[in-house]
Amino acid sequence: MKQFLSANDADDPLQLAREAIEIKKDPYEFSHLGENKVLGLIFFNPSLRTRMSMVRAAYNLGMKVITLNVTSDSWQLETEEGAVMDKGHAEHVREAAAVMGSYCDILGVRSFPGLRSREEDYAEKLITSFRNYGNVPLINMESASLHPLQSLADLMTIKEFAGNGKPKIVLTWAPHVKSLPQSVANSFAQWIIASNMDLTITHPEEMELSSEFTAGATIEYDQEKAFQSADFIYVKNWSSYKDYGKLHKDSWWMVDERKLALTNNARLMHCLPVRRNVVITDGALDSNHSIVIRQAENRIYSAQVVLKKILEAL
Amino acid sequence: MKQFLSANDADDPLQLAREAIEIKKDPYEFSHLGENKVLGLIFFNPSLRTRMSMVRAAYNLGMKVITLNVTSDSWQLETEEGAVMDKGHAEHVREAAAVMGSYCDILGVRSFPGLRSREEDYAEKLITSFRNYGNVPLINMESASLHPLQSLADLMTIKEFAGNGKPKIVLTWAPHVKSLPQSVANSFAQWIIASNMDLTITHPEEMELSSEFTAGATIEYDQEKAFQSADFIYVKNWSSYKDYGKLHKDSWWMVDERKLALTNNARLMHCLPVRRNVVITDGALDSNHSIVIRQAENRIYSAQVVLKKILEAL
Amino acid sequence: MKQFLSANDADDPLQLAREAIEIKKDPYEFSHLGENKVLGLIFFNPSLRTRMSMVRAAYNLGMKVITLNVTSDSWQLETEEGAVMDKGHAEHVREAAAVMGSYCDILGVRSFPGLRSREEDYAEKLITSFRNYGNVPLINMESASLHPLQSLADLMTIKEFAGNGKPKIVLTWAPHVKSLPQSVANSFAQWIIASNMDLTITHPEEMELSSEFTAGATIEYDQEKAFQSADFIYVKNWSSYKDYGKLHKDSWWMVDERKLALTNNARLMHCLPVRRNVVITDGALDSNHSIVIRQAENRIYSAQVVLKKILEAL
């Protein structure tokens, strides 16, 4: 594997998830693969799971890690080509990416969208700059529009529970108190559809995601109808794609035990962090339906299979 | 050892200090014990000695480390059960602790008290939540009311100098410019008393500590009288326990060379950081009485003996 | 080597650069030299290249690393002797340096100048305190007045391109939007002159550097004249040394392709970060003249040769 920016970088997404399940059984089997290799983790935004799981995955493979919080450890980066840099940005991403790439064998970058301009966010300028100028394999640790490490862990988790069955998977929009990216939802749809699995997406009518990622899914505006006979309920808020970045308020969509009772005893999924009693109720999160901690734990192995594939191709 | 939250988690506090002294003689003897083990250090507050000594101790044992500054690297955690999380806290400690525990083999947590509510602080909600939801051995890296790694290093340092003698140990309150926790003083008293050593505590009358920790010590309100024939003077400021969190100002209590001259050529101790010429004078700190740097160095070995005991029981 | 604070700590600066070139050919040759050794990196200021290259160099030598951002991870340090510490500084550098030295086998410190008082900055109080109280070998990761790791990488880069030739090296002042230290310029001059290489420094008349570092260089106030027949153009802004810390504005001095055409097809150097189209134009930076990324990459090997020399002398 030469890079991991989206599902398109996996020859076979489902097979990659299966390999992650294998690695989980013996996480230290390839602990010499990363010898003398350094993973650089570049954070433009806060992170808990991504940060810790990437480091753990690298350690499991015998890699060493350099972590950089761009804005607090160093300084802001300019991404515009041709900019006259007389303002706040002390360094251009062209130099920063090339230099980081010279210090590390693999780079991971996390950078959230501004949610002000759809065109700007979906152009993925920062991640693209790191790909173009970094000169080493690049891993998307959540970009403006995608979060493939999360989705691979999600797919892996579904496979752990569903085996070779054909589950009904439902992605549902849920309420939140602030505008969030579409990245997790986009990416989940992309990976599930690329795996030829049955995906239903339910959300308020105005909360349509980009068809670039959802083509192939069933869209159902009635949440309760969508939940019927579902095997997996993936809950996630996102802000509006059409009226870009707008916060949609509709607390009715919060997921609770009553709604889970409509399903085929579905597993409850969320990428975390989750705001309790806003997105999902305590009752639902603390019920036997919930597999959110398993999902988070599997972030180690989705990161590890990606690092392994990249190390093997170095 | 299954956890290290207070002196109560040590079968024999004095014996643990003796083992730390042994480890110091050959710090790399157990450098394979931590193979493939990851220590997660979770900081809700700043740290210098605790951070660096824990990392060094883990390295000496062959462990790897993941450090997380909660508020700057990730986001604030909710600790209330049943909270409707529509405010500033993006994640509940239930999920955060469980997830961190899935990424690490041992967790250390540092979290200072708010010093607004005694009940809230002494309930130790955060550390208790990590214990309940983390699912891995937990180390207290200074909580609202206790700092056992510091106290174990203090005890070890006293044993290094006193050998098998029966020293008179004095803990004295000293002035400061801001309200500080009682944790170091509580914990020092707990460990010294649990080791059946002779402890005198001296402080202004209104600065009484919780008897939960000091029962068994002699309380002496006259600092100069307390210092007579003392072998160890442990200096520390704390804010009021009774009038909870209140700053007490009385610069007379600052420790200087004149007061040290009243002692049995006592060793001068402080956990650091120390404000010079506010808590202790330059003259006293720079005299041969001072063993504060040795105390700090011994933080490596108090951490290392705890990690060793926990690793052996994994 | 016992410390690395300036060119004066290198027996033979040019020979040290040659050894760095050798190490680059086989970076893992000495990967057991750092076994059980811990490098402490103490940052009082932001850093990208220095941080990442130091960590990489330490990893290449088998060392482990503890990184501390002083102001965010811990607290501000007092440097005045005799201070009554009742203000913002929670700890004195005397204790902090001694403690850090007890946790690490080698310390690196980065601390920028305040640019308010020349006397204070050039006294290098912080780095001197760490040398005096740290009790372990100290590496200057850019102090108020010098940046020797950068200069050693610069010298190494020049040697890579010039071989045993006798190149004409030009250091040129360039414009900037904020007041910057003289450290990179001072240090570059110190190392090039100590290597008996031919150095011309060009800058506006009022931007004279301290003769302590530039004695032996040719000073030429006409930038275009200085560029004639140059083999290396090192571009760097600095604030006034005479009118200490003052920002000099003169955009004419920006380096572009037209000026590079005056040279002997010179290599273009800059320590980075560089503000594009303020200090150097896009055209010049993106031309074949530029070796700025190579310079940055060589920071690994300048750090590594220094760490190696220090480890060998431990």
- The C-alpha atoms of residue A187 and residue A153 are separated, in whole angstroms, by 11
Nearest CA distance, A271 vs chain B (angstrom):
11
Distance, C-alpha B200 to centroid of its chain: 19
Query: Do residues A171 and A227 make contact, with C-beta atoms less than 8 angstroms apart?
Result: no
Looking at residue B19, its pLDDT comes to: 98
Instruction: State the span(s) of chain B assigned CATH 3.40.50.1370.
Output: 7-146+299-313, 150-296
- The C-alpha atoms of residue C106 and residue C40 are separated, in whole angstroms, by 6
- Confidence grade of residue C71 (pLDDT, cut at 50, 70, 90): confident
Which two three-digit tokens encode residue B184?
């170091």
In this structure, chain A runs to a length of: 314
Burial A134-165 (b: 16+ CB within 10 A, else e): bebbbbbbbbbbbbbbbbbbbbbbbbbeeeee
Which two three-digit tokens encode residue C202?
């060009």
Looking at residue B75, its pLDDT comes to: 84
For residue A281, what are the contacts with CB-CB under 8 A and spacing of at least 6?
A254, A255, A256, A257
Which residue from C36, C86, C104 is facing B278, i.e. has the nearest CB?
C86
Record: contact B91-A31, CB cut-off 8 A: no
Residue C195 has pLDDT above 90, yes or no: yes
Looking at residue C74, its pLDDT comes to: 83
What rounded mean pLDDT belongs to chain B? Answer: 97
- Confidence grade of residue A153 (pLDDT, cut at 50, 70, 90): very high
What rounded mean pLDDT belongs to chain C? Answer: 97
pLDDT digits (tens, 9 = 90+) for B217-247: 999 999 999 999 999 999 999 999 999 999 9
- Confidence grade of residue C138 (pLDDT, cut at 50, 70, 90): very high
Looking at residue C100, its pLDDT comes to: 98
For residue A25, what are the contacts with CB-CB under 8 A and spacing of at least 6?
none
Chain B neighbours, 3+ Cβ pairs < 8 A = A, C
Beta strands in C60-164 (DSSP E): 64-69, 77-78, 91-92, 106-110, 138-140
Query: Do residues A198 and A167 make contact, with C-beta atoms less than 8 angstroms apart?
Result: yes
Tell me the Ramachandran region of residue C128: left when phi exceeds 0, alpha when psi lies from -120 to 50, beta otherwise.
alpha
Q: Which residue has the tokens 């008290």?
A: B113
- The C-alpha atoms of residue A222 and residue A234 are separated, in whole angstroms, by 15
Region A100-109: what's the mean pLDDT?
A: 98
Q: Which residue has the tokens 């602790």?
A: B97
Looking at residue A269, its pLDDT comes to: 99
B53 — contact with chain C (CB < 8 Å)?
yes
- The C-alpha atoms of residue A216 and residue A239 are separated, in whole angstroms, by 21
A300 — contact with chain B (CB < 8 Å)?
yes
| Percent of chain C scoring above 90 in pLDDT | 97
Asked whether the CA dihedral B179, B181, B185, B188 is positive or negative, the reply is negative
- Nearest residue of chain A to residue C299 (CA atoms): A103
Residue B71 has pLDDT above 90, yes or no: no
* Apex B109 CA angle, B105 and B110, nearest 5: 160
pLDDT digits (tens, 9 = 90+) for C149-169: 999 999 999 999 999 999 999
For residue B100, what are the contacts with CB-CB under 8 A and spacing of at least 6?
A48, A52, B40, B42, B68, B107, B130, B134
- The C-alpha atoms of residue B119 and residue B6 are separated, in whole angstroms, by 18
Residue A74 has pLDDT above 90, yes or no: no
Asked whether the CA dihedral B57, B59, B64, B69 is positive or negative, the reply is positive
Residues 92-111 of chain A with CB under 8 A from chain C are: 92, 95-96, 98-100, 102-104
pLDDT digits (tens, 9 = 90+) for C174-185: 999 999 999 999
Helices (H) and strands (E) counted in chain A, each on its own, are 14, 11
Residues 55-84 of chain C with CB under 8 A from chain B are: 64, 66, 68, 72-75, 78, 81-84
Looking at residue A285, its pLDDT comes to: 98
- The C-alpha atoms of residue C17 and residue C23 are separated, in whole angstroms, by 10
Fold of the CATH domain C150-296: Rossmann fold (3.40.50)
Tell me the Ramachandran region of residue A140: left when phi exceeds 0, alpha when psi lies from -120 to 50, beta otherwise.
beta
Q: What is the pTM of this model?
A: 0.98
Which two three-digit tokens encode residue B283?
């003259």
Picking from A275, A282, A300, A301 by the largest number of B CB atoms within 10 A of its own CB, the best residue to mutate is: A275
pLDDT digits (tens, 9 = 90+) for B191-205: 999 999 999 999 999
Looking at residue B294, its pLDDT comes to: 98
Region C245-254: what's the mean pLDDT?
A: 97
Nearest partner of C48 among C234, C236, C273, C237, judged by Cα = C273
Helices (H) and strands (E) counted in chain C, each on its own, are 13, 11
Distance, C-alpha B97 to centroid of its chain: 22
- Partners of residue B168 on adjacent β-strands: B198
Looking at residue C250, its pLDDT comes to: 96
Q: Residue C262, Cβ neighbours under 10 Å: how many?
A: 16
Looking at residue A193, its pLDDT comes to: 98
Beta strands in chain C (DSSP E): 38-43, 64-69, 77-78, 91-92, 106-110, 138-140, 168-173, 198-202, 218-219, 232-236, 267-269
Chain A neighbours, 3+ Cβ pairs < 8 A = B, C
Looking at residue B80, its pLDDT comes to: 95
- The C-alpha atoms of residue A169 and residue A216 are separated, in whole angstroms, by 13
Nearest CA distance, B302 vs chain C (angstrom):
13
The full DSSP string for C195-256 is: TT-EEEEE--GGGPPPHHHHBTBEE-S-HHHHHTT-SEEEEE----TTTTTPPP--GGG-B-
Looking at residue C76, its pLDDT comes to: 87
What one-letter code names the amino acid at B165?
Answer: G
Looking at residue C73, its pLDDT comes to: 85
Region C252-256: what's the mean pLDDT?
A: 98
Residue A72 has pLDDT above 90, yes or no: no
The full DSSP string for B109-155 is: EE----SS-HHHHHTTHHHHHHHHHH-S-EEESS-SS--HHHHHHHH
Give B201-206's long-range contacts (Cβ < 8 A, gap of 24+): B201/B170, B201/B171, B201/B172, B202/B170, B202/B171, B202/B172, B202/B173, B202/B226, B202/B227, B203/B172, B203/B173, B203/B253, B204/B173, B204/B248, B204/B250, B204/B253, B206/B240, B206/B242, B206/B243, B206/B248
- Confidence grade of residue A31 (pLDDT, cut at 50, 70, 90): very high
- The C-alpha atoms of residue A9 and residue A12 are separated, in whole angstroms, by 9
DSSP at A111: -
Which two three-digit tokens encode residue A235?
């809950």
Homologous superfamily of the A7-146+299-313 domain (CATH): Aspartate/ornithine carbamoyltransferase (3.40.50.1370)
Q: Which residue has the tokens 């070779």?
A: A164
Q: Residue A21, Cβ neighbours under 10 Å: how many?
A: 15
Nearest partner of B226 among B200, B256, B199, judged by Cα = B200
- The C-alpha atoms of residue C21 and residue C30 are separated, in whole angstroms, by 14
Residue C72 has pLDDT above 90, yes or no: no
Which two three-digit tokens encode residue A299?
């972030």
Q: Which phi and psi angles does A201 have, rounded to 5°?
A: -115, 130
What rounded mean pLDDT belongs to chain A? Answer: 97
- The C-alpha atoms of residue A171 and residue B295 are separated, in whole angstroms, by 55
- The C-alpha atoms of residue A211 and residue A298 are separated, in whole angstroms, by 28
Give B99's contacts in chain A (Cβ within 8 Å).
48-49, 52, 272, 293, 296-297
Region C39-64: what's the mean pLDDT?
A: 97
Record: contact A52-B100, CB cut-off 8 A: yes
Give C80's contacts in chain B (Cβ within 8 Å).
none
A40 — contact with chain C (CB < 8 Å)?
yes
Region B96-117: what's the mean pLDDT?
A: 97
DSSP strand pairing (B91-92 vs B77-78): parallel
Nearest CA distance, A165 vs chain B (angstrom):
27
Helix (H, G, I), strand (E, B) or coil at C1: coil
- The C-alpha atoms of residue B3 and residue B50 are separated, in whole angstroms, by 17
- The C-alpha atoms of residue C277 and residue B165 are separated, in whole angstroms, by 72
For residue A232, what are the contacts with CB-CB under 8 A and spacing of at least 6?
A158, A161, A162, A167, A168, A169, A170, A266, A267, A269
